[in-house]
Amino acid sequence: MKPNSTSLTEGSVIQKMLLFAIPIFFSNLFQQLYNAVDSLIVGNFLGPDALAAVSSSGNLIMLMVGFINGISLGAGVLVARFFGAEDHENLRRAIHTTVALGIAAGAVLTVAGVVLTPQILRLMGTPEQVLPNSILYFRIYFLGSLAVVLYNMGAGILQSAGDSRSPMKYLIISSLVNVVLDLVFVSVVNLGVAGAALATIFSQVMSAFLCFRRLSRTQECYRVCWRQVKFDLPMLRQVVTLGIPSGVQNSVIALANVIVQSNINAFGAAAMAGCGAYSKVEGFAFLPITCFAMALATFVSQNIGAGRYDRVKAGMKFGLIASPLLAEAVGLVVFTFAPLLIRAFNDDPAVMVFGVNDARTVSLFYFLLAFSHCCAGILRGMGRPVIPMAIMLAVWCALRIAYITVTVHFIPNIRVVYLAYPITWAISSVLFALCLTRLQFPPMTGKPHHPHGA
């Protein structure tokens, strides 16, 4: 195979990781703008009840989409492994099986989201004054599920092959479209929360279209040929085997966060709006964390495929140092400017009290979350997704729910809910650190491995 500028198996480890991670950062930044812009415009034009309906969206969407996104992570690890090993035939089979899976999963998610939204929102204890707008927003949002899933699958393929710039460009374009349509649909056409959801759908369709136009036109080895899109059962089995642990982890943690959200809902609409506003701020704050975790998974997988274990260890070291330091710097900014950040979404005094208290309880512990996510990315890249699944399910799900259920019963204070996050991040960090100290690598030859003589 000819040298490829997107390959992460040659060149400076730090430079390659940064050049790969920075576009992922901007991709995630503009993806986060989808819901944040909805919340900003809805909160300022429609008021706190409408803001509560839209701002509580993250946990429910993650519950519905998280499993499929986890499967796409498994597909991404496989694509990166075959790309690093220059195994073109298996790369082609993995890519087309992934696309077929995305189409099927998107169709199922559309039906499930539209049908189950009211029941899930009621189980979450959504207040009656917020419920009609919440149901309307989510039902319209899930009509665009196919575009959401296909974009994530397509972007995952490009990123696994080392191209993180193209998804970044597509998200920038679609996010700008989302901003314009939000303003038109909400403030001009007066469609309310339905307008915010419609703007999101149109922008997601655009990002998916641009992504697959790139994949179908490229002359690289990761090209998508629509006539070849089908389920290859042996390859599907590998994708599912690698992806199910991450999918289960995403969905169950999202379920745990839905339970956390239900505890927040019990404190009323102001708590929902305030904590929802902070969740949007937090989404931006987490971007350095997620970009390093995603970069580590791809970097590790490509270099394991190429037999470059020296680069795997160097990449791990850089990611585990840089990501927590950057996350803590962001946490200090959020802590300091929390009142201004929450006020951007809604200036209602009661809403601001909840949002600022949430931010200042959690933000100084972002470094723990960064460390845990990076460790999970490393283990997924090594093809060991069961380990992060087990740790996160035990700590971020079971322990978090048990802590909140017991503690809130005796101390009915919303700060107890806020503290659930830094406590469980600290415990998972200790467990991940213990796992990393036990990792075993083959002898480091420093030479690339091409199993098919490419």
Query: What letter represents residue 175's amino acid?
Result: S
When the pLDDT of each residue in the chain is averaged and rounded to a whole number, the result is 84
User: 70 vs 164, 290, 438, CA distance in Å?
Assistant: 19, 14, 25
2: which 2 tokens? 């000819």
Contact yes or no for 248/67 (Cβ under 8 A): yes
Identify the pLDDT of residue 446.
41
**Which of 58-62, 239-243, 433-437 holds the top average pLDDT?**
433-437
Identify the pLDDT of residue 450.
41
pLDDT at residue 269 tops 50: yes
pLDDT in tens, 331-368: 999 999 999 999 887 788 888 999 999 999 999 999 99
Identify the pLDDT of residue 116.
86
Dmax over Cα atoms in the chain, in whole Å?
Answer: 66
pLDDT at residue 145 tops 70: yes
Mean pLDDT of 259-280: 83
Higher pLDDT, 144 or 444: 144
d(CA 292, CA 386): 20
pLDDT at residue 35 tops 80: no
pTM (global) more than 0.85: no
pLDDT at residue 58 tops 80: no
d(CA 209, CA 155): 11
Burial 115-130, CB ≥16 within 10 A → b, else e: ebbbebbeebebbeeb
Identify the pLDDT of residue 337.
95
Return phi, psi of residue 144, to 5°. Answer: -100, 20
179: which 2 tokens? 């901003």
Specify the DSSP element, H or E, that contains 417.
helix 414-437
| Residues 6+ positions from 183 with CB-CB distance below 8 Å | 41
Q: Where are the alpha helices (DSSP H) in 88-232?
A: 88-123, 131-143, 145-160, 165-182, 193-217
Identify the pLDDT of residue 445.
41
Work out the angle at residue 143's Cα, subtended by the Cα atoms of residues 141 and 147, and round it to the nearest 5 degrees.
Answer: 90
Identify the pLDDT of residue 62.
67
For 371-402, what is the HEC assignment?
HHHHHHHHHHHCCCCHHHHHHHHHHHHHHHHH
Contact yes or no for 178/33 (Cβ under 8 A): yes
Cα four-point dihedral sign 221, 227, 230, 233: negative
Q: Which of 290, 323, 304, 308 is nearest to 383 (CA)?
A: 304
72: which 2 tokens? 């796409």
80: which 2 tokens? 């990166």
Mean pLDDT of 185-190: 86
Q: Where are the alpha helices (DSSP H) in 47-87?
A: 48-55, 57-85
176: which 2 tokens? 């700008």
Identify the pLDDT of residue 333.
94
Specify the DSSP element, H or E, that contains 189.
none
Lowest mean pLDDT across 1-5, 208-212, 310-314: 1-5
d(CA 277, CA 422): 19
pLDDT in tens, 84-111: 888 999 999 999 999 998 899 889 889 9
d(CA 130, CA 136): 10
Contact yes or no for 249/389 (Cβ under 8 A): yes
pLDDT at residue 162 tops 60: yes
Identify the pLDDT of residue 441.
63
For 9-32, what is the HEC assignment?
CCCCHHHHHHHHHHHHHHHHHHHH
pLDDT at residue 315 tops 60: yes
276: which 2 tokens? 């929802």
Lowest mean pLDDT across 34-38, 156-160, 303-307, 408-412: 34-38
The length of the chain in residues reads 454
Q: Which of 24, 61, 67 is nearest to 243 (CA)?
A: 67
Q: Which of 137, 142, 88, 134 is nearest to 110 (CA)?
A: 142
Q: Which of 15, 378, 58 is nearest to 200 (CA)?
A: 58
Identify the pLDDT of residue 91.
92
Q: Which of 249, 335, 246 is nearest to 285 (CA)?
A: 335
pLDDT in tens, 230-267: 999 999 888 888 888 878 877 777 777 777 877 888 88
Mean pLDDT of 263-280: 84
Specify the DSSP element, H or E, that contains 305.
helix 287-305
Neighbours of 15 (CB within 10 A): 9
d(CA 38, CA 46): 11
